[in-house]
Copies of this chain bind each other. A is one copy, B any other.
Amino acid sequence: MPLKLDLAATDLTDQEIASLKEMRTHCARRILLSTSLAASGHPGGSLSSLDMLLVAYGLLKNNPEDPRMAERDRMVESIGHISPGVYAVLAENGYFTEDDFLTGFRRTGSGFPGHVESIVPGVEWDTGNLGQGLSTAVGMAQAFKTKRMDNRVFCLMGDGEHQKGQIVEAMRHACKYKLDNLTVLVDRNHLQICGDTADIMPQSIRELYRVMGWNVVYLEDGHDYNAIFHAMRDAYGNTGGVPTVIVARTIMGKGISFMENKAKYHGSPLPPDMLAKALAELGVDNDFDQWQKLREEPVKTNTIMQPRTDYPDVQPGNPVVYDADTVTDCRSGYGNALLGLAEANNRPGEPPVICGVSCDLEGSVKMGAFHKYSPEGYLELGIQEHHAAAVSGAMSCENLVTFFSTFGSFAVSEVYNQNRLNDFNHANIKVVATHVGLDVGEDGPTHQCIDYLGLIKNYFRFSVFMPCDPNQTDRIVRYIATQPGNFFVGMGRSKTPTITREDGSVFYDADYSFKPGRADWLRRGTDATIITYGAVTPACMEAWQILTDAGASVGVLNMASLLPLDIDAVIEAAGTGPIVTVEDHHIETGLGASVSVTLLEQGLAPKMTRLGVKHYGGSGKPADLYRQQGLDGKSIAHSVQQLLG
Contacts and interface: CB of A to CB of B under 8 A. Distances in A.
Contacts of A59: none
Contacts of A38: 442
Nearest to A40: B442
Contacts of A31: none
Given A451-B458, A597-B593, A618-B108, A443 B114 contact: yes
Interface in A362-399: 362-364, 380-387
Interface string A583-627: 000101100110011011101110110100001101111001100
A446 B136 CA distance: 15
Interface in A265-281: none
A160 interface: yes
Interface string A427-461: 00000000000000111111100110011011010
Nearest to A162: B383
Given A108-B624, A380-B194, A416-B413, A446 B166 contact: no
A71 interface: no
A350 interface: no
A293 B625 CA distance: 21
A621 to B, nearest CB: 7
A149 interface: no
A444 B383 contact: no
A333 to B, nearest CB: 21
A601 to B, nearest CB: 8
Interface in A165-214: 165-169, 172-173, 175-176, 192-194, 200-204, 207-208, 210-213
Contacts of A160: 360, 382-383
Contacts of A81: 443
A598 to B, nearest CB: 9
Contacts of A497: none
Interface string A457-479: 11010000000000000000000
Contacts of A443: 40, 81, 114-115, 128
A166 B615 CA distance: 28
B619 A106 contact: yes
A427 to B, nearest CB: 14
Contacts of A163: 169, 172, 360, 382-384
Interface string A240-254: 000000000000000
Contacts of A169: 163-165
A203 B384 CA distance: 13
A503 to B, nearest CB: 36
Contact of A605 (B193, B213, B603): B603
A409 B418 CA distance: 11
Given A201-B172, A416-B417, A460-B616, A117 B194 contact: no
Nearest to A446: B128
Contact of A194 (B207, B362, B592): B362
A527 to B, nearest CB: 18
A217 interface: no
Contacts of A455: 416, 454-455, 458
Contacts of A176: 201-202
A38 B381 CA distance: 30
A484 interface: no
B128 A444 contact: yes
Contact of A129 (B41, B414, B610): B414
A417 B417 CA distance: 10
A454 B551 CA distance: 40
B380 A586 contact: no
A361 interface: yes
Contacts of A364: 193
A457 B454 contact: yes
Nearest to A117: B444
A41 B106 CA distance: 54
Interface in A391-413: 409-410, 413
A127 interface: yes
A107 interface: yes
A115 B447 contact: yes
Contacts of A161: 383
B361 A193 contact: yes
B164 A619 contact: no
Nearest to A208: B211
A110 interface: yes
A492 interface: no
Nearest to A175: B202
Contacts of A203: 172, 212
A455 B364 CA distance: 27
A192 B460 CA distance: 36
Nearest to A266: B360
A131 B110 CA distance: 42
Nearest to A368: B194
Nearest to A588: B457
Nearest to A164: B383
Q: Which of A81, A364, A380, A417 has the most chain B CB within a 10 Å cutoff?
A: A417
Contact of A363 (B168, B193, B409, B424): B193
A109 interface: yes
B382 A620 contact: no
Contacts of A128: 443-447
Contacts of A106: 442, 619-620
Q: Which of A112, A213, A385 has the most chain B CB within a 10 Å cutoff?
A: A385
10 contacts: A115-B443, A163-B169, A165-B168, A176-B202, A201-B382, A416-B417, A421-B446, A424-B616, A458-B588, A596-B601
